[in-house]
């Protein structure tokens, strides 16, 4: 793949940034959305005190994987993340089904809700109150979490708080998540120039690279996959998030750096080399340290550029949210530098 021309001056250009205003504004308001969802669910927590411990917990829908990343190490009952249609055949009246659909629903989510109601399972569904999914979910054993913002992360934080009330998950502090998102928004604001903005600085690294993203913990790895998805959408380039065993051969197989390359050559004729981005959430288990060391040593040997994106403050879900948010800022600034948000020439 060849390099598309990247103009770093656009990162501090008010007119260029204006074309990315909607995306940047959405990131800046992420903390406020978490608070909005938390306030809207205050009454729901009181209803949960009437529920006993289920036989098993099933998280269904497209965002089930985030719940799995948080709950699997902690949940005291069998837990299954089920992103596909319907529900596992064994799910019944003794089980709890959780569905996240903050923006409405798709056919798979609807089928999971219908199956939960039909089988008499206890159902917690997070969706807009005035939506077809809310109507499908109506029943004696259904608890509706009223989604206000359409923000998947904000709704997931609220549902995780509710599951803690049921003693099915760890304590999740919504305000700490909101504060972390506010902090990222301040550090990565479009009004912060290139010299002081970490997201703009990281976008320069990606101007001539294909990102390889690695996170050591379960949540950091999940953030890495979301960041890679965002980079692909924003830039139209490849981006890979994977574990160390999959990234090492990619790094080892990268083309050698040409020390005699013409710095003034046409960027379109220059092949992209990988760059390794390590997402560090402060997790220091021995296996994580070993994998990180192996990746960094391999990258150094292959002369692959490496950068570490760190967020080690606050609870683990707040760190996850901050890493994902910062990666999204990087993707937007990369798109701005590539001219992706600029109007077509007339």
Does 131 share its domain with 214? Answer: no
Does 247 share its domain with 196? Answer: yes
Angle 49-50-54 from CA coordinates, rounded to 5°: 95
Q: DSSP assignment, residue 265?
A: S
Task: Identify whether 342 is part of a domain.
Answer: no
Other CB atoms within 10 Å distance of the CB of residue 328: 24
Does 266 share its domain with 214? Answer: yes
Does 222 share its domain with 109? Answer: no
Secondary structure class of 100 (helix, strand, coil): strand
Task: Identify whether 1 is part of a domain.
Answer: no
Does 296 share its domain with 260? Answer: yes
Does 171 share its domain with 54? Answer: yes
Does 271 share its domain with 313? Answer: yes
Task: Identify whether 160 is part of a domain.
Answer: yes
281 and 316 Cβ atoms separated by less than 8 Å: yes
Does 146 share its domain with 281? Answer: no
Domain CATH number, residue 221: 3.40.50.10490
Does 218 share its domain with 290? Answer: yes
Does 315 share its domain with 222? Answer: yes
Dihedral angle sign, alpha carbons of residues 123, 126, 127, 128 = positive
Return per-residue pLDDT of the chain as tens, 346 residues.
445 688 999 999 999 999 999 999 999 999 999 999 999 998 898 888 788 899 999 998 777 888 999 998 899 999 999 887 889 999 999 999 999 998 877 788 899 999 999 999 999 999 999 899 999 999 889 999 999 999 999 999 999 999 999 999 999 999 999 999 999 999 999 999 999 999 999 999 998 899 999 999 999 999 999 999 999 998 888 999 999 999 999 999 987 766 555 555 555 556 688 999 999 999 989 999 999 999 999 999 999 999 999 999 999 999 999 999 999 999 999 999 998 865 544 3
Of the CA atoms within 13 Å of residue 189, those in its CB half-sphere come to 8
121 and 96 Cβ atoms separated by less than 8 Å: yes
User: What pairs with residue 97 in β-bridges?
Assistant: 58, 123
| Residue 66: domain span | 32-175
Number of domain units in the chain: 2
Task: Identify whether 346 is part of a domain.
Answer: no
In 3D space, the residue among 263, 235, 38 whose CA is nearest the CA of residue 149 turns out to be 38
Does 295 share its domain with 326? Answer: yes
Does 79 share its domain with 124? Answer: yes
Select from 140, 175, 210 the last residue of a domain: 175
């Amino acid at each position: 793949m060849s390099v598309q021309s990247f103009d770093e001056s656009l990162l501090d250009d008010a007119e260029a940034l204006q074309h990315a205003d909607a995306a940047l504004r959405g990131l800046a308001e992420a903390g406020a959305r978490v608070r909005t969802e938390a306030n809207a669910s205050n009454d729901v927590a009181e209803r949960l005190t009437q529920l006993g411990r289920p036989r098993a917990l099933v998280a269904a829908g497209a965002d089930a994987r985030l719940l799995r990343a948080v709950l699997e190490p902690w949940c005291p009952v069998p837990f299954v993340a089920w992103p596909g249609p319907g529900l596992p055949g064994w799910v019944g009246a003794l089980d709890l089904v959780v569905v996240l659909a903050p923006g409405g629903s798709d056919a798979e989510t609807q089928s999971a809700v219908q199956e939960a109601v039909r089988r008499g399972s206890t159902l917690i569904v997070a969706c807009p109150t005035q939506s077809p999914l809310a109507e499908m979910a109506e029943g004696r054993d259904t608890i509706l979490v009223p989604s206000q913002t359409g923000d998947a992360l904000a709704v997931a934080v609220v549902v995780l708080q509710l599951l803690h009330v049921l003693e099915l998950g760890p304590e999740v502090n919504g305000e700490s998540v909101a504060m972390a998102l506010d902090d990222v928004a301040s550090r990565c604001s479009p009004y912060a120039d290139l010299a002081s903005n970490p997201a703009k600085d990281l976008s320069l690294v990606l101007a001539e690279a294909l990102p390889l993203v690695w996170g050591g913990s379960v949540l950091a790895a999940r953030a890495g996959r979301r960041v890679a998805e965002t980079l692909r959408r924003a830039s139209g380039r490849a981006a890979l998030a994977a574990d160390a065993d999959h990234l090492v051969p990619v790094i080892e197989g990268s083309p050698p750096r040409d020390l005699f390359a013409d710095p003034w050559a046409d960027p379109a004729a220059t092949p992209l080399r990988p760059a390794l981005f390590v997402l560090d959430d402060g997790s220091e288990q021995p296996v994580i340290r070993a994998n990180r060391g192996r990746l960094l040593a391999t990258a150094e040997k292959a002369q692959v550029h490496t950068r570490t994106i760190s967020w080690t403050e606050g609870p683990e879900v707040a760190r996850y949210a901050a890493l994902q948010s910062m990666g999204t800022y990087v993707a937007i600034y990369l798109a701005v530098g590539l001219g992706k948000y600029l109007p077509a020439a007339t």
